[in-house]
Amino acid sequence: MNYLNYNISVIKLIKGELIVVESSLLDKPMSEAFPAWGNSNLPVRDALWDYYMELNGRNTMKTEKDMDPYKQMSAEQIKIQVEKLLKSE
């Protein structure tokens, strides 16, 4: 699925190897990105995907379109959006 390719990570080439230096907020577990919300190990990306799938009646194409803006968002913008959409769940 295409949503797995969104806003992945900061990667550096060190001694001929690609090393993940900083993980994107989308890749972090909900418990790490939003510790006050509980202990879910579900990545933020998957929590958003699940939210949009339910909202869109399990329509994958519409959900991919809804996830597109997250490709260009900063960590702070993603955090604001997640709090807006998922905090009450």
The pTM of this model reads 0.75
Q: How big is the CA angle at 68 (ends 47 and 27), to the nearest 5 degrees?
A: 40
Binned at pLDDT 50, 70 and 90, residue 88 comes out as: low
| H-helix or E-strand spanning residue 18 | strand 17-23
Report pLDDT digits (tens) over 27-55.
Answer: 899 999 999 988 999 999 999 999 999 99
Which range among 6-10, 12-16, 83-87 shows the weakest confidence by mean pLDDT?
Answer: 6-10
* CA distance linking residue 43 with residue 41, whole number of Å: 6
Which of 72, 1, 84 minimizes the C-alpha distance to 48? 84
